Amino acid sequence: MLPDDVVFTCQQSGACCRNDWLIGVDEPARARLEAVDWTRLQPPLPPGPKFRPLPFALPGGERATFTRRADGACVFLEPNERCGIHTRLGAGAKPQVCREFPYSFVETPDGVAVGLSFACTAVRAHQGRALSEQQPEIREVLAGSTRVRRLPDPLVLYASVDITWAQYCAIEAALLALLAHEECTLPTALLAGSVLISLCVGLSQVEAMAEREGRAPTETLLGGLAQLATDRYRKVIEVAARARAPHRPRLTALAPLYTWLEFSRRRPSRVGLVLALYRNFFRFRRGRGRLPDWITGGPPFDIAEVQAIAFDATDPAVSAFLREYWRHVVFRKTLTPLHGVFRGYQTMLALYAFTKWAAKLTARRRGRSRVTLDDARDAVRLIEQRFVLHARFADVFTLSPVLTLMADRLFRDPAFVRGAVLEP
């Protein structure tokens, strides 16, 4: 299952080989590549260790990574930004992790959904060929992948309300249609998606009650979605278009996300993490106060200064890019079915708010008073790397039922939805 609105062809920027993330190398690839005498190949590579062991296993089970050069790049990355393994031994000799990036795979009842990572520079800049033109190459990468995710079983809509794959597909199609809807702005489309999911929860509860009482339901989830589709979701769009931002800025939802970012950057102790959460919570709630910069790595900043930077969600370039990204997040099934469609979607809205905020801080660092497409692209890269595709942020919901309850309380608050989406 290939998406038709994202493209990718490697532009050899080398960005993914010099990133600040750990690239895990599987054991067979490490053993195979360590047996190569790189000093004898043409052109030779300097002697020295090419891999270093990790003190822990990565989520994919890898226990080694590439040695880095002083500038942070992989030891195999050459001055012309080409991979030293690829140029000497061919693409097939690279470890699977390098062959697989930026693809992601999710097995579904209808086939494998192929996604792309927006941590990739080419994907973010929409450079390359359509995936439909690259089927043989993608199939080859998929065949060697050990990272094909499976959908959760059962698929959960909300709390203990389960849905079938067919029902999930209908919800996904509606969300994608809303995010592509040319008659509504991106914020209205995001709000309409939230209204739509709440409606689906209600319809599924009506359906479940009828089933318990042994009678035919008056409404069904699939029937309701089909009705909405007939007038191109106008009813939910109308409800969404009436929403207004809360009177006071509501930034508290950013606090747990900022704390997670801090955790992913420097791994503080458990006590340090709790203290950081409290500090961030109170500062974001007040909308002012200094914070260390875990986004750009710059000096500490004041929250109020970041708030003063303008984010215009109707800017055509920014809006088109963010629509492409969030549509792809839904298509890729990265968030939506993970801990229930409702929770996944509301998490997506919180991350949208964080994207805006990270873009504002980036713009400020660049001396701008308003966010541009470049700032938005950098913010999405951060979101993708630290929260969505390459991170275990979604596991937060499995840590403790208390955290889940707190998140659900926040997510059910209509002011959270309006604040996350409409806060400028």
Residues that bind ligand SF4 (CB under 6 A): 17, 23, 66, 74, 76-77, 83, 85, 94, 98
- Nearest CB to ligand SF4, comparing residues 19 and 372: 19
- How many C-beta atoms lie closer than 10 Å to residue 23's C-beta? 18
Nearest approach, Cβ of residue 84 and ligand SF4 (Å):
6
- Nearest CB to ligand SF4, comparing residues 81 and 172: 81
Identify the three-state secondary structure at position 94. coil
Q: Cβ contacts of residue 341 below 8 Å, gap of 6+?
A: 155, 156, 157, 158, 163, 168, 171, 197, 200
Kindly state the helix (H) or strand (E) to which residue 302 belongs, with its residue range.
strand 301-302
Distance from C-alpha of 212 to C-alpha of 207, rounded to nearest angstrom: 9
372's torsion region: left (phi>0), alpha (psi -120 to 50) or beta?
beta
- Nearest CB to ligand SF4, comparing residues 13 and 307: 13
Nearest approach, Cβ of residue 72 and ligand SF4 (Å):
11
- Nearest CB to ligand SF4, comparing residues 33 and 171: 33
Nearest approach, Cβ of residue 46 and ligand SF4 (Å):
14
Nearest approach, Cβ of residue 135 and ligand SF4 (Å):
22
- Nearest CB to ligand SF4, comparing residues 76 and 393: 76
* Upper half-sphere CA count for residue 163 (Cβ side, 13 Å): 30
Distance from C-alpha of 311 to C-alpha of 369, rounded to nearest angstrom: 9
Nearest approach, Cβ of residue 74 and ligand SF4 (Å):
3
Asked if residue 37 lies in contact with residue 362, where contact means CB atoms within 8 angstroms, the answer is no
Sequential DSSP letters for 2-65: --SS-EE------GGGSSSS--EE-HHHHHHHHTS-TTSSSS----S--EEE-SS--TTS--EE
Q: Which two tokens stand for residue 100?
A: 């697989």
- Nearest CB to ligand SF4, comparing residues 98 and 199: 98
Nearest approach, Cβ of residue 96 and ligand SF4 (Å):
10
Residue given tokens 């199609």 in the structure block: 173
- Nearest CB to ligand SF4, comparing residues 74 and 303: 74
Asked if residue 192 lies in contact with residue 240, where contact means CB atoms within 8 angstroms, the answer is yes
Distance from C-alpha of 128 to C-alpha of 121, rounded to nearest angstrom: 11
Nearest approach, Cβ of residue 379 and ligand SF4 (Å):
24
- How many C-beta atoms lie closer than 10 Å to residue 103's C-beta? 19
- Rg of the chain in Å (alpha carbons): 23
> What is the helix, strand, coil percentage profile of the chain, to 5?
55, 10, 35
Nearest approach, Cβ of residue 318 and ligand SF4 (Å):
30
Distance from C-alpha of 414 to C-alpha of 168, rounded to nearest angstrom: 23
- Nearest CB to ligand SF4, comparing residues 95 and 340: 95
Nearest approach, Cβ of residue 82 and ligand SF4 (Å):
8
- Nearest CB to ligand SF4, comparing residues 80 and 269: 80
- Nearest CB to ligand SF4, comparing residues 8 and 397: 8
Going from the C-alpha of 400 to that of each of 259, 281, 397, 407, the distances in angstroms are: 17, 19, 7, 11
Nearest approach, Cβ of residue 17 and ligand SF4 (Å):
3
